[in-house]
A and B are shown apart, each in its own frame.
Chain A
């Protein structure tokens, strides 16, 4: 289902002229209202009137996360505080939190973006939406909430946590749609199974999962466990929150809401824009945001873009599922390792549970070690030591084949790896770097 066909299926040339017009306005507005942008543009010799075509975007300087920290809390806002209707902020686990603001119109835009997202998974006004994203400063909860309301659906604002109760209410309310992080979806499936709940009998039909990177194999696992369609939803609070891009039911890449955000892919080392199809760092420029516009914001997410029309009829650029982040990449003995690589190996093996922990340590001779903790499930637990040993060895060989470095595998008791009710914590780095 398409929520706003006139936008989502706009022909590319109309879309591009709309983007250029909005880009010109945005550049002018940030130059006039945000000191950091004015200084940067002046230093690069850029005048607000210089945006003659979309290609000129590549001349603008990048904005990075640290810029947002330096201007904490409101230094990047482009409107007076009296026009700011809402504030959200990142958790700030690494340094100062990133604070973002929205005008009433921005919240409108956001609700529209989410309504398109939910509709692309077949959500309609008659559906009950179980929203297990955290409510609060985190953009997930309220973002999905407003979008579901815009669509006319019934929202259950359950937020995260109290998983047994979540399962109970999913059943009692007969929710059709679920929104949460993918790792939490798996956990909900696990708790539901423990409670003896037959998920196939629930009216639950589709889920929108995001806020952390996940893999295609994880999608299959969620779809199997919860008996639903599992759709990817992408976003970051710096750009707007969830709803920057979204899967449709053909599951062949996430449609970027291009009438609101212009995506680019760049080489993360040189900053050079890369052509469609090539993998690199995703960069966004917002072109309608009022309170918190960003120019060429570096997301650190790694993906590629395609501009081919999707079979669903949407013309927006599609980004591939995010395959990693430039900053959650682990460098072990000089080899780049992404947690998503390990996840896909474990998900493909029938014998292992999709919950894992990576423990990185440094030995005396300054040799880094990677140990992967894998849970032994009741189904695969064998009384015979050699079978357990063989499993351990199999996991190890599969991982080493993919990663190209030696890996230790440790079998641990089921449910001992902490389940997250929000973003999963997958890495323990004990190295003192």
Chain B
């Protein structure tokens, strides 16, 4: 169930993002989903890639600070209210969503979102009962 997300600390200075994406390109790693959180001085780049272990290794070798974070990928109906419903279920259950971003998936019936939350297993169970399925990690990496 749990998908491995790679988070990278990035100082806001020119060329850093280029270096990072080039390192991944050279290793033949494909980025599946990506989001950036930023402040004036630094940002955190979050990514789902097809080979998280290799990506981590390469980025560390290139001198980046990297951590792996467990996240949840959910397949939700691609229509108004689709995400709202999921968030409401989690909120009512007292599960706090740290952050959420959308997947850059290929055109399909459902949308895929990535969520960072504290209690992944409980969320999966709650949402599963309501017909919202978590996307298995292997499937996410191959998408």
Chain A residues within CB distance 8 Å of chain B: 376-378, 381-385, 388-389, 410-416
Chain B residues within an 8 Å CB radius of A413: 9-11, 16, 63-65
Within 8 A of A (CB), among B5-47: 5, 7, 9-11, 16, 37, 39, 41-42, 44, 46
CB closest residue in chain B, given A382: B67
Chain B residues within an 8 Å CB radius of A383: 5, 7, 44, 46, 67, 69, 116
In angstroms, Cα B15 to Cα A416, docked, is: 14
Task: Report A382 CB to chain B, min CB distance, Å.
Answer: 7
Known: A376-B65, A378-B67, A413-B65. A385 touches B9 (CB 8 A): no
Q: Point out which of A385, A389, A414, A416 has the most chain B C-beta atoms below 10 A from its C-beta.
A: A385
Chain A residues within an 8 Å CB radius of B46: 383
Within 8 A of A (CB), among B42-65: 42, 44, 46, 60, 63-65
| B98 within 8 Å of A (CB atoms) | yes
CB closest residue in chain A, given B6: A383
CB <8 Å contact, A377 and B67: no
Q: Point out which of A378, A411, A412, A413 has the most chain B C-beta atoms below 10 A from its C-beta.
A: A413
Chain B residues within an 8 Å CB radius of A389: 39
CB <8 Å contact, A411 and B42: yes
In angstroms, Cα B84 to Cα A259, docked, is: 82
How many A-B contacts are there with CB distance less than 8 Å? 49
In angstroms, Cα B99 to Cα A151, docked, is: 63
Chain B residues within an 8 Å CB radius of A381: 7, 9, 65-67
Chain B residues within an 8 Å CB radius of A412: 11, 41-42
Q: Is the interface of A mostly helix, strand, loop or mixed?
A: loop
Chain A residues within an 8 Å CB radius of B66: 378, 381
Chain A residues within an 8 Å CB radius of B116: 383-384
Chain B residues within an 8 Å CB radius of A415: 63
CB <8 Å contact, A385 and B39: yes
Task: Report B52 CB to chain A, min CB distance, Å.
Answer: 13
In angstroms, Cα B53 to Cα A123, docked, is: 46
Chain A residues within an 8 Å CB radius of B64: 413
CB <8 Å contact, A388 and B11: no
CB <8 Å contact, B41 and A411: yes
In angstroms, Cα B41 to Cα A389, docked, is: 11
